[in-house]
Amino acid sequence: MNADIQTPAASVTQQGHHAAIDRRWVWASLALALPAVLLVTDTLLAIAQGWWFESRLDQVAALAAGVWLVLVSPALLIPAGRSLLTRNAAQLIALVVSLSLAWLVAELLIGPLLGRIGDPFHGWRPNATMVNHPTPGVMRDVAPEATVTFNSWGVRGDEPPPREQAYRVLCVGASSTACTYLDDASAWPRATQTALNELPSEGPSKSYWVGNASVPGFRSDEHRKFVETSHLVDDVDCLVIQLGVNDFMSCLLGPQPKPPVWTHSRVWQLVRKLTRGLLDSGTLVEDAAGEVYNRRRAARQAGTVARDLPPLDDCLGHFADNLRTMNAAAKRRGVRLIFTTQPVLWRADLSDQDQRLLWFGRMADGRFLSVDQLRGGMDRYNQTLRDVCEHAGVELVELDDLSGDPVVFYDDCHFTDTGSSRVAQRVAEWFTNHVPAPVGSKP
């Protein structure tokens, strides 16, 4: 029989072999494209639900995934590309699988690393120092250099003295308390410490330590979590909490859409942290020169003004609940609790020059709330704080009479050196007129 004549069975076997070879390029192309497809799909779904990129680094990642898909596509459409994928299918699949496994391992191992190089909740890296140099003209009445120093607790301030030697006060808040662009000595928590320790020595509370555990952007949700869970609360005698404006701004924006799942990756969070400031030059990240304020102000100046205050009742109810929860947690943990009202620059007759300093007030539809309505909304938050404090018997330092004074603020709510000094004076006067418990003992 002629050896070249194939039996039907042999022919079928050979066809199956060729089909298997042909399918290898399909598996190889899937391996190459699938990660990018998942990332792009995840991103598009988040965008469809109203999310938008929070940093340029995220934009770069999504764009790179899209470009990769464009580059891979020709290999699927032309015979030479399919042939190349077929010949190298095993190696390409092994590479993608190896990289995926390496990523998964990194996700598991990188958590402790993030804990070491990252900032603790409601604090900063222990013993860290940063120096800001605000650009002249961006912020009025601030020093040209601001040194920001954190102690071994990750708290801005001196090392706390032993409990028996000082009454320990910890200030908690957001950016108006953090005073990022003011020098250590000028930030109102430290200035409060200075003012208190310059008072005549009377009684056991002659020495005060005042630390600053504030993080820009935080709201009452984060402050509540801090009072409930932070171990620092057990190491101090008193908490002074300034809050309200970020809750108000969050309410104006409404419920925020969930970001893509891939942005929660620990590996990606590490990349973000290591490249922070290099690509994130938009309006979210503070820079040492404060140039971000020019971009933020430009966005408000270019925006459309909204004249009607949106409903705040639900947000105010949530705010009040957080205040009551903080009070209950403070009592349970045996720490004295003092709130302050939130002063702001906003007032109906604000000059054009001062209005150009503003950048708060963005709403869900992209418009910016008018100055008079901003003040009206802030007044409601401060009144809610007063009502809760009065009903629950919580101490409250009134700062509302500072509102509307251009000398006190360099923008919507952040204090100048002069404003910070005035806040410190008010807080120090409160302690003077409301003598704390003996040193080292909680109320």
* CATH code, domain with 181: 3.40.50.1110
The DSSP element (H or E) to which 171 belongs, if any, is: strand 167-173
Max alpha carbon distance in the chain (Å)? Answer: 119
In a domain, 43, yes or no: yes
Handedness of CA 342, 348, 354, 360 (dihedral sign): positive
Cβ-count burial of 299 within 10 angstroms (0-12 exposed, 13-18 middle, 19+ buried)?
middle
Domain end position, chosen among 94, 117, 140: 117
Its domain, for residue 393, covers 129-261+288-433
C-alpha angle 400-402-405 in degrees, rounded to nearest 5: 135
Instruction: Enumerate residues 6+ apart whose C-beta is below 8 A from 282.
Output: 55, 56, 292, 295
Render each residue's pLDDT in the chain as its tens digit; 443 residues: 444 545 544 444 444 444 445 677 778 788 888 888 998 999 999 888 877 777 778 888 899 988 988 887 776 667 777 777 778 778 878 888 888 888 888 878 776 665 555 556 677 788 989 999 999 989 999 999 999 999 999 999 999 999 889 999 999 999 999 999 999 999 999 999 999 998 765 554 568 999 999 999 999 999 999 999 999 999 999 999 999 999 999 999 988 778 898 888 878 877 776 676 444 444 445 678 888 899 999 999 999 999 999 999 999 999 999 999 999 999 999 999 999 999 999 999 999 999 999 999 999 899 999 999 999 999 999 999 999 999 999 999 999 999 999 999 999 999 999 999 999 999 999 999 997 655 444 54
Single out the residue of 385, 425, 377, 434 nearest to residue 402, CA to CA. 425
**d(C-alpha 120, C-alpha 122), whole Å:** 6
Tell me, yes or no, whether 338 and 366 share the same domain.
Answer: yes
Tell me, yes or no, whether 107 and 141 share the same domain.
Answer: no
Phi, psi at 336, each rounded to 5°: -70, 140
Single out the residue of 167, 158, 161, 185 nearest to residue 240, CA to CA. 167
Report CA-CA distances (Å) from 6 to 2, 14, 15, 360: 9, 10, 12, 81
Please list the residues that pair with 241 across neighbouring strands.
Answer: 172, 339
Tell me, yes or no, whether 154 and 245 share the same domain.
Answer: yes
**d(C-alpha 424, C-alpha 420), whole Å:** 6
The DSSP element (H or E) to which 371 belongs, if any, is: helix 371-392
DSSP-derived letter for residue 146 is: E
In a domain, 279, yes or no: no
Tell me, yes or no, whether 43 and 102 share the same domain.
Answer: yes
Question: What's the token pair of residue 86?
Answer: 């077929």
In a domain, 123, yes or no: no
**d(C-alpha 87, C-alpha 247), whole Å:** 59
Single out the residue of 441, 428, 323 nearest to residue 384, CA to CA. 323
Tell me, yes or no, whether 108 and 189 share the same domain.
Answer: no
Tell me, yes or no, whether 316 and 189 share the same domain.
Answer: yes
In a domain, 443, yes or no: no
Number of structural domains (the chain) is 2
- Residue 141's CB is within 10 A of a number of other CB atoms, namely 16
**d(C-alpha 369, C-alpha 381), whole Å:** 16
